[in-house]
């Protein structure tokens, strides 16, 4: 893959452990619990643990889909590339656009709690001041912007520190919650069943919010061009990361149900973990969990910046967005134009958010809007895996179940919760979520009309890359060649006709 500057991202920077850390940080366990628990409880009440459980099962199908697609095409654009090469380039572009829009919205949804939690360390009353929280959060965002600009190696070193402290604190409080004797309500296994959901639409709205909890593990795919042995590592790291955050989400959600009343949860809003920590360990517990949330929020700001800037880099490289976005810094090997563009837009949104309302209102609408976009691009990726592996799905039970059936179930589930939850969401959330997706039609048609070779892709087909006598769909085949942008129009046309391999930058 060639950027218009002739330079690519720096290869072989990240190892397996580094990538697992990025997957966990991407899902941001402490931040997700703090920002989303009140929203989830408001949607489904005591069924919050069930919503997380039943969303995790289809989400795992999407994780499997990403892993298998990444073995065929290691691309910083991830679903943007895969969906375009299997289903249709227009759907591929919208997949990438959905990630770009959701990640950009998250700059507000993430910076706001980062600022609020920082202020809460000094004075809990200041945490509800939206303007001040945005100002402090904007400072954290700027720091992470500079870290991401400094390269993947610096990024992962920052993650090791931030996520290491966060996970240590969370595990400490999981153990403390088990030893806690007081309770608002006794634990009941029915919390993991379907009895507490208000019908299909209630279940869908809860699952949609739960999807936001898990969102972020796919950063491993956006880092694939910078990862050693990425065709195996990215998928493995996503699976491990998903397992870690699932256990943490369930443990803390059950603890919240047991220890806090619904009124306490609603009143706590984005500071619900602080209230939980104070209940478990009076005097210092609340402060410690506030530190965990702050570190988690800052860490996930970093991983989200990686996702959106790598996606924009791939789009610029393919000339489906301004080609300048595909430029790579000569010293740091990072897409500096994409980073600068995202930073500019994000600071504009942060300024606008100060007039939108309270911390709770902004977070609630942002979470549901982002969740709609997540459902779209995860669902399309699941279908893309089915199409890419359809000709080899009967080679083994594993190929059929893990490669086709589970990803298909995950994709259909994502589309179902998108449709079913629309009637339960606020007009603001729908306008941001669906309107943000629709806005992508403008650049899509513009660059399609300009003749981007992305819209003439080499098809992604596992059968074409696998020897007939080999039953492992993950090894012993040559990687797909990227399709755009090529060094000249003749090369692009030749590749589109023949599917020849072209050299890559990684």
Return all residues near 413 (Cβ < 8 A) that are at least 6 apart: 58, 61, 207
C-alpha Rg value of the chain to the nearest Å: 22
Q: How confident is the model at residue 443 (pLDDT cuts 50, 70, 90)?
A: very high
Q: What is the pTM of this model?
A: 0.84
pLDDT tens readout for residues 253-278: 998 888 888 777 777 666 788 888 88
Q: How confident is the model at residue 7 (pLDDT cuts 50, 70, 90)?
A: low
- Residue 4, in any domain of the structure: no
- Residue 202: per-residue pLDDT: 80
pLDDT tens readout for residues 356-406: 655 556 666 777 788 889 999 999 999 999 999 999 999 999 889 988 999
- Residue 11: per-residue pLDDT: 86
- Residue 72, in any domain of the structure: yes
| Tokens of residue 506, six digits | 């990684």
Residue 284 pLDDT > 90, yes or no? Answer: no
- Residue 506, in any domain of the structure: no
- Residue 66: per-residue pLDDT: 96
Q: What integer is the mean pLDDT of 58-69?
A: 96
Strands (E), 251-374: none
CATH of the domain at 81: 1.20.1740.10
Counted domains in the chain: 1
pLDDT tens readout for residues 444-471: 999 999 989 999 999 988 887 654 434 4
- Residue 504, in any domain of the structure: no
- Residue 502: per-residue pLDDT: 29
- Residue 326, in any domain of the structure: yes
Residue 18: closest CA among 212, 142, 154, 150:
154
In the chain, the N- to C-terminal Cα span, in Å, equals 8
d(CA 413, CA 208): 10
- Residue 8, in any domain of the structure: no
Return all residues near 504 (Cβ < 8 A) that are at least 6 apart: 1, 8, 479, 481, 482
- Residue 343, in any domain of the structure: yes
The phi, psi pair for 14, rounded to 5°, reads: -105, 140
- Residue 338 domain boundaries: 16-498
- Residue 7, in any domain of the structure: no
């Amino acid at each position: 893959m060639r950027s218009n500057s002739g330079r690519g991202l720096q290869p072989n920077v990240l190892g397996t452990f580094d990538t697992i850390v990025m997957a966990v940080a991407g899902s941001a366990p402490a931040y997700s619990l703090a920002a989303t628990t009140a929203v989830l409880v408001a949607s489904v009440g005591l069924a919050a643990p069930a919503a997380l459980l039943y969303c995790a099962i289809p989400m795992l199908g999407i994780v499997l889909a990403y892993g298998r697609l990444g073995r065929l095409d290691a691309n910083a654009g991830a679903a943007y590339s895969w969906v375009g090469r299997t289903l249709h380039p227009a759907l591929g572009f919208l997949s990438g656009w959905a990630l770009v829009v959701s990640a950009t919205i998250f700059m507000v949804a993430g910076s706001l709690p980062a600022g609020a939690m920082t202020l809460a360390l000094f004075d809990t009353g200041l945490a509800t001041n939206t303007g001040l929280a945005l100002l402090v959060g904007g400072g954290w965002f700027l720091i992470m912007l500079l870290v991401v600009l400094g390269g993947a190696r610096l990024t992962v070193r920052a993650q090791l520190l931030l996520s290491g402290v966060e996970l240590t604190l969370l595990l400490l409080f999981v153990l403390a919650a088990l030893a806690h004797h007081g309770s608002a309500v006794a634990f009941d296994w029915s919390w993991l069943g379907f009895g507490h959901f208000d019908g299909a639409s209630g279940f869908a709205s809860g699952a949609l919010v739960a999807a936001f909890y898990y969102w972020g593990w796919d950063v491993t795919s956006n880092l694939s061009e910078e990862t050693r042995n990425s065709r195996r590592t990215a998928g493995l790291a996503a699976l491990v990361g998903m397992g870690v955050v699932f256990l943490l989400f369930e443990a803390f959600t059950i603890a919240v149900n047991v220890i806090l009343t619904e009124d306490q949860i609603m009143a706590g809003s984005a500071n619900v973990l602080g209230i939980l920590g104070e209940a478990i360990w009076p005097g210092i517990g609340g402060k410690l969990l506030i530190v965990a949330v702050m570190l988690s929020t800052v860490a996930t700001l970093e991983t989200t910046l990686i996702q959106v800037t790598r996606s924009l880099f791939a789009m610029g490289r393919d000339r489906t967005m301004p080609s300048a976005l595909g430029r790579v810094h000569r010293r740091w090997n990072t897409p500096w134009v994409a980073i600068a563009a995202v930073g500019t837009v994000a600071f504009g949104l942060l300024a606008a958010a100060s007039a939108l309302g309270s911390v709770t209102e902004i977070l609630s609408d942002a979470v549901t809007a982002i969740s709609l976009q997540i459902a779209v691009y995860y669902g399309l990726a699941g279908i893309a895996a089915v199409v890419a592996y359809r000709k080899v799905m009967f080679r083994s039970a594993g190929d059929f179940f893990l490669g086709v059936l589970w990803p298909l179930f995950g994709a259909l589930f994502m589309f179902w919760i998108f449709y079913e939850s629309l009637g339960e969401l606020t007009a603001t959330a729908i306008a941001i979520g669906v309107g943000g997706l629709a806005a992508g039609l403008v650049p899509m048609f513009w660059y399609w009309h300009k003749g981007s070779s992305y819209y003439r892709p080499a098809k992604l087909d596992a059968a074409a890359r696998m020897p007939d006598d080999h039953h492992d769909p993950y090894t012993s085949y040559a990687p797909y060649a990227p399709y755009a942008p090529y060094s000249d129009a003749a090369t692009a046309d030749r590749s589109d006709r023949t599917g020849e391999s072209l050299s890559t930058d990684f």
